[in-house]
């Protein structure tokens, strides 16, 4: 049974939900107990009360604890990766890779905990010194989605703790087992009780309690644009610090001079790995006319060889869609695309496998225009579109013609175009001859427009969100 963890105890919930394996819905990964709003408020109180203890424990001990969490995650990589793939549906290599990344994130922020620094300078008033320092915020509320069940929690929990904050963490309901396993590791790390709390339950009850509590100084949220906007409005009302990471509709531009092998692999990886359920997925492939037909033929050949199966089956390249609701949404977008006049050149069908799961063939639309809904709305599934354009200028303009701005890529051998694209792309992250997905943990992550709001996540940039700046003036 997966339970919430509050004030150092595993706490019984008010209702029980089943956690089903999307690769095999007859496999129940486990059950988890949902707590209610008043239990969430208790967790918030406990975490708020623990802030002084955690700040006073000192940076060396904080670093040791974070490092030990990272080591434990890496030691348990095989077990955690298998669990993650079983409950979320990404392939085992993807699950293992994600767990490894979570371990490295904790280790990175263990180092950052002892590198918290400020600066000092002369005041414009002679004889006065100015010292600028970073201080913890207090209690941070963390709300995460289902698609990276351990990496996203890690990249929020680790910096929150490293910079001296206490935490109330609410994972998505589809991935309670990974959250529980991560919490188990954190609970055994020597962290004082109350510093880290796991609250499992619905967004409308548990999530809302976090967003609305005056005891929570800052809320970091990753999820859909719709929920993110709600979080933004509610945190703005009480002037809490907020950071939002939301959707994407990421373009991958392929120019006539691109290396075709690289372009096809970038598109395949970016669009279909993790079943296309990545905020950074290359869901719009913008291809210039000279290479268009070769590219589509080669990509389709590669897509049709892709092994779509149970996430834990050896050799599987793409697992199932995460659940029935998401599958329904994907199927609706197939209809929307068809009704808009786009053509499906590969996929577009549900697949049956030995086990009953939510399998959808990787799907490619051609004959699209950029104003179609399938080119403007985030689908969040294994569905990509191809937009044929005349030249680089038209490709750049289409790439930027979106309400999102998370990641953008270009495949080209031209220094001139790759440089121009890096400067003129209106996305937060730009990839050259690489898929739009796949980012490092030690550098800033985030986007523009509807994709993100607030300071960047990860790397040293995380300090901007998880700390408050203090300016002190000292005269002798
Ligand atoms: P979601 O918005 O449905 O849920 C995200 C989290 O918010 C969940 O924990 C949910 O329980 C909680 N929540 C729901 N209603 C709430 C409320 N009223 N108040 C507070 N919390 C509430 O998103 P999802 O379906 O879990 O995840 C998919 C989305 O996440 C996609 O849009 C994807 O693009 C986005 N995503 C973005 C990034 C990024 O870094 N930009 C990364 C991964 C996923």
Q: How many CB atoms lie within 10 A of CB 105?
A: 28
- How much is the average pLDDT of 291-319? 98
Average pLDDT, the chain: 98
Helix (H) or strand (E) holding 307: none
Torsion angle of alpha carbons 66, 70, 75, 81, nearest 10°?
Answer: 130
Atom 28 of ligand 1, residue of closest alpha carbon: 223
Give the Å distance between the CA of 463 and the centre of ligand 1. 23
Q: What is the pLDDT of residues 240-267, one digit of tens each?
A: 999 999 999 999 999 999 999 999 999 9
Atom 8 of ligand 1, residue of closest alpha carbon: 172
**Substitution site in 204, 227, 441, 444 for ligand 1 pocket (most atoms within 8 Å of beta carbon):** 227
- Cβ–Cβ < 8 Å for 22, 88: yes
Q: What is the pLDDT of residues 143-154, one digit of tens each?
A: 999 999 999 999
Strands 24-34 and 139-143: unpaired
Q: What is the pLDDT of residues 457-468, one digit of tens each?
A: 999 999 999 999
- The span from the CA of 137 to the CA of 466, in Å, is 6
Render 381-393 in DSSP notation, one character per residue. Answer: SSEEEEEEESSHH
- The span from the CA of 78 to the CA of 27, in Å, is 19
Q: Which two tokens stand for residue 93?
A: 């290599």
Place of tokens 């890529």: 409
* Closest by Cα among 122, 162, 149, 167 to 7: 167
Question: Percentage of the chain with pLDDT > 90?
Answer: 99
Q: Put residue 36 in one of left, alpha, beta given phi > 0 → left and psi -120 to 50 → alpha.
A: beta
- The span from the CA of 346 to the CA of 362, in Å, is 7
| Closest atom of ligand 1 to CA, residue 145 | 26
Give this prediction's pTM: 0.98
* Closest by Cα among 124, 153, 160, 156 to 139: 160
- The span from the CA of 431 to the CA of 428, in Å, is 10
Does the Cβ of 207 fall within 6 Å of ligand 1?
Answer: yes
Give the Å distance between the CA of 225 and the centre of ligand 1. 8
Computed on alpha carbons and rounded to an integer, the radius of gyration of the chain in Å comes to 23
Among residues 87, 245, 378, 457, which one is catalytic?
245
Burial degree of 140 (CB within 10 A; 0-12, 13-18, 19+): buried
List domains and CATH numbers for the chain.
Answer: 4-246+451-475 (3.40.605.10), 251-432 (3.40.309.10)
Output the pLDDT for position 271: 98
Q: What is the pLDDT of residues 333-375, one digit of tens each?
A: 999 999 999 999 999 999 999 999 999 999 999 999 999 999 9
């Amino acid at each position: 049974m997966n339970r919430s963890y509050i004030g150092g105890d595993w706490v019984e919930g008010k209702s029980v939900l089943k956690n089903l394996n999307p690769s095999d819905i007859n496999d129940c990964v486990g059950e988890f107990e949902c707590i209610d709003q008043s239990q969430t408020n208790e967790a918030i109180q406990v975490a708020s009360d623990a802030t002084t203890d955690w700040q006073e424990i000192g940076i060396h001990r904080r670093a040791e604890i974070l490092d030990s969490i990272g080591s434990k995650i890496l030691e348990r990589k095989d077990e955690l990766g298998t669990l993650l793939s079983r409950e979320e549906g990404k392939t085992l290599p993807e699950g293992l890779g994600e767990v490894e990344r979570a371990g490295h994130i904790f280790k990175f922020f263990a180092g950052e905990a002892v590198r918290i620094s400020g600066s000092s300078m002369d005041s414009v008033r002679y004889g006065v010194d100015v010292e600028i320092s970073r201080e913890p915020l207090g209690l941070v509320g963390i709300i995460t989605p289902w698609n990276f069940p351990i990496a996203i929690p890690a990249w929020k929990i680790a910096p929150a703790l490293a910079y001296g904050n206490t935490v109330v963490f609410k994972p998505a309901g589809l991935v309670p087992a990974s959250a529980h396993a991560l919490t188990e590791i954190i609970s055994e790390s020597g962290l004082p009780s109350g510093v880290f709390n796991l609250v499992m339950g619905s967004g409308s009850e548990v999530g809302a309690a976090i967003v609305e509590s005056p005891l929570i100084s800052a809320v970091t949220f990753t999820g859909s644009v719709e929920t993110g906007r709600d979080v933004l409005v509610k945190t703005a009302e009480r002037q809490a610090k907020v950071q939002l990471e939301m959707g994407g509709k990421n373009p991958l531009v392929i120019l006539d001079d691109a290396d075709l092998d690289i372009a096809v692999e970038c598109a395949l990886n970016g669009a279909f790995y993790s079943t296309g359920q990545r905020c950074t997925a290359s869901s719009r492939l913008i291809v210039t006319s000279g290479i268009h037909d070769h590219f589509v033929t080669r990509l389709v050949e590669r897509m049709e060889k892709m092994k779509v199966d149970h996430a834990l089956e050896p050799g599987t390249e793409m697992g199932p869609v995460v659940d029935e609701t998401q599958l329904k949404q994907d199927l609706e977008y197939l209809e929307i695309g068809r009704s808009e006049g786009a053509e499906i050149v590969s996929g577009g069908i549900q697949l049956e496998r030995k086990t009953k799961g939510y399998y959808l063939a990787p799907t490619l639309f051609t004959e699209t225009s950029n104003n179609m809904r399938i080119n403007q709305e985030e689908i969040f599934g294994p569905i990509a579109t191809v937009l044929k354009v005349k030249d680089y200028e038209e490709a750049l303009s289409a790439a930027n013609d979106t309400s999102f701005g998370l990641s953008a890529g270009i495949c080209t051998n031209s220094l001139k175009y790759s440089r121009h694209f890096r400067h003129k792309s209106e996305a937060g992250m730009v990839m050259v001859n690489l898929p739009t997905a796949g980012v490092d943990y030690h550098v800033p992550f985030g986007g523009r427009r509807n994709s993100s709001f607030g300071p960047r996540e990860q790397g040293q940039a995380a300090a901007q969100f998880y700390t408050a700046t203090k300016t002190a003036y000292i005269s002798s």
